[in-house]
Structure 1
């Protein structure tokens, strides 16, 4: 069988970075081919070259055995190649059908008017092919993220795509939505569409892919059959080393000072009588299902969202936090789950991002920035956190997700925040970068920082936490010591509705805080 796509000896460089070195890849019709590697390994760059977003420096791309020179996304689409990015590219004010056919709308009245009926019928035909129940007239901004992703897939199919590239397609989906997505992928596979699947979630790859190609440092490592290759073997190929996942004995921190206490926080139905304590040097894991209210609690404490009631006590003193500026002055930092939107100025360089929260420290006579001091401070954190960047002058948007996350951490360390909220700190980054973030969090805790870590990954919660607080429907339903806790224990509390939890939860939260 002739491959749909063959990539040979492909090179691509950016200023100061050799992104791809003799990269290789192959995709057959009706195949789900997983592309894996640490952040910065080159997998997204390779696919962007295939999709015409970047142009190769050298090497060969063959489509069905014929050489192809893909100079633009339009050229890629003409060859039947579509890419669905992790950040969806839709217009919220338009309908699903309008997004699918934007710029290619059917016309009537001698081409003078849009034919909305034909437009909606064409979109409905694609949805029917996908076995998807969705009104073509639905406004995209009103759809769930999962449904928006289905619209992106429908848009790709409208171009008669034979090659579909999916970059972290399940990052914002729950289990039911993932199952629905996988059903559509299997149907497309049966129709002969070749799918490149980029993800860091090993369980998903085992379920959906046929083969796995691993890249490291911009180079091809190997291609292996998914079914007969162990997860450990894939990880070892990705990072070039074995990663230990064992949890050390959990220390008893009950004698440490309480640096943050919240009592009976309330905000409509999102936060209902939430109380907890956080001690110096502690990592308090916050677990729960999507919509449980974990992020809402963090944002409210940080002053990003208003509270209806409750008390916040920092280092024994009651405080009023009306804005993030108030929180930062009290030594509280918040690392959002959406680092690109809320945590970074991606068009600015590394140094500027690191010192942004504490620029006043670098002013002479309160007027002139001391550029040399800024560079020295930035380089210190680059070294301390092992941020991989050509220099402190590199624009942040060119760095990998793991290194971007380290920059967000660096900026709060530069601001000397003692209390840190990490919201999904490893979302969208690979196992190697995850391991470095884990080590960094443990180091910060050892240095005396107090950390609240919100995570949807239960193995991560169990590995990293000293204590685990579990939420359901805006309430804390229980607290567990990490030593001896299981995923089943957490899920039991994460699905416990408020009518079942009041007395036991209050006793747990108000009692011993190991």
Structure 2
């Protein structure tokens, strides 16, 4: 058995009397890929921050590279070769790729002037270890999420990393980018003996990359063992405490019925070319493709956020013009954006205000004043209807878990009674239990007569929720796929082929 880099025993941690971790033990071995899974709020993030020295533990022991630490500080963790790559990557967007990778070494050297030749050499050496190509002179803000992930790994390698902790590393990556990341992880494990602690909600990816799996629930470790001992059903049961058997949405529309939405030869310069499709009431149509395929641009064009150069949109078989968000809303179109934090929510505002923001004018009395009782009633109705787990609607929406935040975004749009909903990455960054509930909500909306366009590269999600899937490539639709006539491997192959 490999030597342990980190060994935690009997860890307890509470915040204001709330038990975040209870008797947690975890061993991470050298040169192993260890996956940590669990629903939002199960204690994963707290555990990572204890390993990083950010949070002090209440009790228990922390041993790193054979040395026990009474008080572990972030600098101790870094010196022991532990590097944490959080979801925001902790990079400087206004600096170049090379500057980000070499910055820590330049600071440590204490030079009065930057040695640019040394900066470039350090960056080239780090990138060479990954065996990928990255433009060293490009600013990080210009890079894709996948390349930012690689830059963060390269930066960690220059800090003599022995353990790299990756928090939800694939949440915003396409299928091809995930494959490349996994190749890099395996290469570093095999050649450099680097260990990885991989935290993810995507269970199919966990089962693909993991050598060891630890499952957490309610602040405790439920089980831990070799990846071969787990399958999706066992992971879901141990994470949630219940068996979730999601049934695919099998619906065959009547092609003689009028289309709720019909798009003919839609084009947006540099983004979409000659896009045509139909969507009927009760349908859930998926749209997928690699980054740059045009899938998000299609959503933005339909919602009035991208100018349409040519083509025609029909709603209820009537031609409509959508030049703005207001036009889209007037025609009964709702949009749940890809990034709920920056585009879908007012994070500092209350949960209730976020729910009613689209319909606040309807809640005014004949004197133009807002009726607090009506507002409270609408908020409570949507919280109950969508099963949003909230202690108090007056709390800021940022206090909710990812799954509950997503439900608030959906509630905001449902309150305005749309007939067509566009959902871009509807379950990005939410745990398996919340994911299942959101899927069931999507299916219920379709059964009730709504038409839904689901944009995603989560293959299991597409196969479970959609009755048809449109594959995009180079700004146009190249194929229509029926979920019942394919499987995950076949769809994945189509998604990444050139």
Taking the TM superposition and a 5 Å limit, the aligned residue runs for 1:213-228 are 213-228=214-229
Change (3 A) 1:12 1:486: same
Post-superposition CA distance 1:232-263 (Å, at most 9, x none) = 22222122222214436424444655322222
Give the distance between the partners of 1:366 and 1:10, measured in 2 at CA: 59
Change (3 A) 1:125 1:68: same
Change (3 A) 1:14 1:317: farther
* Equivalent pair of 1:387/1:407 in contact (CA under 8 Å): yes
Matched, 1:351 2:391: no
Change (3 A) 1:143 1:248: closer
Aligned to 2:130: 130
- Greater alpha carbon shift after TM alignment, 410-419 vs 78-87: 78-87
Give the distance between the partners of 2:389 and 2:18, measured in 1 at CA: 11
Give the distance between the partners of 1:169 and 1:112, measured in 2 at CA: 36
Taking the TM superposition and a 5 Å limit, the aligned residue runs for 1:487-506 are none
Give the distance between the partners of 1:181 and 1:496, measured in 2 at CA: 17
Matched, 1:154 2:154: yes
Change (3 A) 1:334 1:5: same
Give the 3-state SS of the residue equivalent to 2:328 in structure 1: helix
Change (3 A) 1:354 1:72: farther
Aligned to 2:87: 86
* Equivalent pair of 2:175/2:290 in contact (CA under 8 Å): no
Give the 3-state SS of the residue equivalent to 2:228 in structure 1: coil
Give the distance between the partners of 2:55 and 2:149, measured in 1 at CA: 23
Displacement of 1:222 after TM fit?
Answer: 0.7
Change (3 A) 1:217 1:369: farther
Taking the TM superposition and a 5 Å limit, the aligned residue runs for 1:46-85 are 46-68=47-69, 73-85=74-86
Aligned to 2:170: 170
- Greater alpha carbon shift after TM alignment, 326-335 vs 60-69: 60-69
Aligned to 2:410: 409
Aligned to 1:510: none
Give the distance between the partners of 1:20 and 1:134, measured in 2 at CA: 40
Aligned to 1:511: none
Aligned to 1:332: 333
Change (3 A) 1:11 1:484: same
Give the distance between the partners of 1:453 and 1:86, measured in 2 at CA: 24
Give the 3-state SS of the residue equivalent to 1:26 in structure 2: strand
Give the distance between the partners of 2:46 and 2:269, measured in 1 at CA: 44
Give the distance between the partners of 2:496 and 2:11, measured in 1 at CA: 49
Taking the TM superposition and a 5 Å limit, the aligned residue runs for 1:240-255 are 240-247=241-248, 249-254=250-255
Q: TM-score, normalised by structure 1?
A: 0.86
- Greater alpha carbon shift after TM alignment, 361-370 vs 421-430: 361-370
Aligned to 2:8: 7
Aligned to 2:437: 436
* Equivalent pair of 1:5/1:63 in contact (CA under 8 Å): yes
Post-superposition CA distance 1:167-215 (Å, at most 9, x none) = 1222333444434323332343343433110123334323322210001
Aligned to 1:186: 186
* Equivalent pair of 1:418/1:449 in contact (CA under 8 Å): yes
Give the distance between the partners of 1:31 and 1:483, measured in 2 at CA: 37
Displacement of 1:159 after TM fit?
Answer: 2.5
Displacement of 1:32 after TM fit?
Answer: 1.2
Change (3 A) 1:103 1:131: closer
Number of aligned residues: 496
Aligned to 2:310: 309
* Equivalent pair of 1:29/1:194 in contact (CA under 8 Å): yes
Change (3 A) 1:164 1:371: farther
Displacement of 1:106 after TM fit?
Answer: 5.6
Aligned to 1:500: none
Change (3 A) 1:370 1:63: farther
Give the distance between the partners of 2:175 and 2:497, measured in 1 at CA: 18
Displacement of 1:230 after TM fit?
Answer: 2.7
Change (3 A) 1:107 1:53: closer
Change (3 A) 1:342 1:387: same
Post-superposition CA distance 1:35-78 (Å, at most 9, x none) = 01123322123213322444445544332344436676445324
- Greater alpha carbon shift after TM alignment, 400-409 vs 345-354: 345-354
Give the 3-state SS of the residue equivalent to 2:443 in structure 1: helix
Change (3 A) 1:64 1:395: farther
Give the distance between the partners of 2:397 and 2:73, measured in 1 at CA: 24
Unpaired stretches in structure 1, ≥5 consecutive residues: 498-514
Matched, 1:476 2:477: yes
* Equivalent pair of 1:106/1:119 in contact (CA under 8 Å): no
Give the 3-state SS of the residue equivalent to 2:229 in structure 1: coil
Change (3 A) 1:406 1:15: farther
Give the distance between the partners of 1:421 and 1:231, measured in 2 at CA: 29
Give the distance between the partners of 2:352 and 2:54, measured in 1 at CA: 28
Give the distance between the partners of 1:30 and 1:496, measured in 2 at CA: 32
Aligned to 1:445: 446
